[in-house]
Amino acid sequence: MAHTYLVVGLGVSGTSVVDMLTARGEHVLTADDSKPADFTVAYINSSDFSFSSIDYVVTSPGFSPSTPFIASAHAAHVPVMSDIELAWQTHQVQTSASSQEDGQRWIGITGTNGKTTTTEMTAAIMNASHEKAVAVGNIGNPITAAVVDTGVDTMVIELSSFQLHYTDSLELDCAAITNLADDHLDWHGGFDNYAHDKAKIYRRARRVVVYNADDQCVARLAHDAQRTGEIGEQCQLVGFTLHSPSRGLIGVEDGWIINRSALSTRAEKVAQISSFVHLTEPDGTVYPHLLADALCALALALGAGVDEDVAIQALRDFAPSGHRIQTVAVLEGRHGEANIRFVDDSKATNAHAAAASLSTYPEKSVVWIAGGLAKGAHFEELVEAQAHVMKAAIIIGKDQTLMREAFSAKAPDVPLTFIDPHSVSVDLPVMKQAVEAAGQVADPGDVVLMAPACASMDQFVSYADRGDQFAKYAIEWVNTHANK
């Protein structure tokens, strides 16, 4: 018997949900405000809309729990779910109907930062081990298309806190939280709610729970899940650390990755960090957040049964995707001078990620381009901790008050340039102005780092659009100044 689903939000994931439900014969209604649909979101938010004929709501994660249609659905006892929850329910039905005992393996990753890179790394390792693995979920590839693909062996799923909020029955084989810091607090209504939703990834995990041992909140959530019996009896707890690891952890010691976890199958020394060229600056300085992502991915892959040598070689071969610590332009120094580099880290959409990016560089060597949508966050702690690496800062975004206040309180000596949002035009776009301003203060040996600590949607289509524009104008600037 067909059920009636209301699919709210017709982006990439929502459209895929509609396609999957329609293909299996369900009755599908849709709602969106910007694309053709059966209803507008404004209408289903009104008291005129009735949920009496709706069996399930599948919502875009962009709609917060306080959205009126969410409250109305709950009042009518209509389940509200994410595309992740729908895919998992579909997977369970497929598995029960199949003669195969295992079916697809599911690996999930969440956290404030590093989710995408860790997801990509883990998928690369799984593919290197002769699995057919796909990276899906919040990374941009719809999970509902992959779950019905019989050729897929392993789903590596990036999970946002929004998706997890509307996901309740998921049982992952391997689950990880990369880190936790203030983010999306306006959506969740505070950090405790945010952390609670992130922690749902550990519930009912079956093979391995991976946690950041350097993050007290994440470590507590992992151990609480074990203590309260929320994870399977045979599930291993494996932590990762950027320090010397104690028993049960994978970490770093004297330039080596060291495995002292229960997943170790041979000598503790796994590999020299210097052999992972994509995890370091050109001078060999390690990017700590990328190394942490690699350790997390390694733990997940080992938990999934991948051979350690295969996993390490896949990490050596891995290169991060665009907009993550990516050098996009270089003004080469003349007469023995050092270069000026332009580095795109547009994926640093919160203070925690920006701090990790800034912390890689030497004293007073960074011209920092920052600003955008703050998402309820503040920047005093970031500015105070990283002011020593900043030569200057260029502030973009429509609301610059929070950045202005943070520098005034914690680093009043750092020179600031504010790009007036009212001066932006087609002929003089915001990123062109920012790059020009940064170029005026950058000297040989400096890095112009675009790690905004904010979301992008106030002035750009997406973080990718922001990064692409930065690269475009950085290249223009370098070409203009190359022969001067």
Q: Is the pLDDT of residue 294 over 90?
A: yes
- 114 labeled binding residue: yes
pLDDT band at 417 (very low <50, low <70, confident <90, very high): very high
pLDDT computed for residue 325 by the predictor = 82
Does residue 335 or residue 342 have the better pLDDT?
A: 342
CATH 3.30.200.20 fits 326-481, yes or no: no
Segment 403-414 shows an average pLDDT of 96
- 138 labeled binding residue: no
The gap between the terminal CA atoms of the chain, to the nearest Å, is: 73
Give pLDDT tens digits for 336-387.
778 999 999 998 888 888 998 998 899 999 999 999 988 777 899 999 999 9
pLDDT band at 268 (very low <50, low <70, confident <90, very high): confident
pLDDT band at 9 (very low <50, low <70, confident <90, very high): very high
pLDDT computed for residue 277 by the predictor = 80
- Mean of the per-residue pLDDT values of the chain: 91
Asked if 104 contacts 98 with a C-beta cutoff of 8 angstroms, the reply is no
Kindly report the CA angle at 232 between 226 and 234, in degrees rounded to 5? 95
pLDDT band at 67 (very low <50, low <70, confident <90, very high): very high
Q: Is the pLDDT of residue 6 over 80?
A: yes
For the four alpha carbons of 419, 421, 423 and 426, in that order, the dihedral sign comes to positive
pLDDT computed for residue 313 by the predictor = 96
pLDDT computed for residue 484 by the predictor = 66
pLDDT computed for residue 101 by the predictor = 53
Q: Is the pLDDT of residue 185 over 70?
A: no
List Cα–Cα distances, 448 to 329, 343, 451, in angstroms.
Answer: 10, 6, 10
State phi, psi for 368 to the nearest 5 degrees.
-95, 125
| Long-range Cβ pairs for the range 64-67 (8 Å, 24+) | 64/187, 64/188, 65/165, 65/189, 66/189
- 284 labeled binding residue: no
For the chain, give every residue range classified as CATH 3.40.1190.10: 84-317
Segment 460-464 shows an average pLDDT of 85
Does residue 116 or residue 484 have the better pLDDT?
A: 116
For the chain, give every residue range classified as CATH 3.90.190.20: 326-481
- 118 labeled binding residue: no
Give pLDDT tens digits for 101-119.
557 899 999 998 889 899 9
Asked if 186 contacts 219 with a C-beta cutoff of 8 angstroms, the reply is no
Radius of gyration of the chain (CA): 23
Segment 79-108 shows an average pLDDT of 85
Asked if 307 contacts 454 with a C-beta cutoff of 8 angstroms, the reply is no
- 360 labeled binding residue: no
Q: Which CATH code fits 84-317?
A: 3.40.1190.10
- CA dist 481 and 329 (Å) reads 12
- CA dist 376 and 454 (Å) reads 10
The reply to whether the predicted model has a pTM over 0.85 is no
* Percentage of the chain lying above the pLDDT 90 cut: 71
Q: Is the pLDDT of residue 99 over 60?
A: no
* Percentage of the chain lying above the pLDDT 70 cut: 96
Give pLDDT tens digits for 127-170.
999 889 999 998 878 999 999 988 899 999 999 988 999 999 99
Q: Is the pLDDT of residue 427 over 90?
A: no
4-81: CATH class = alpha beta
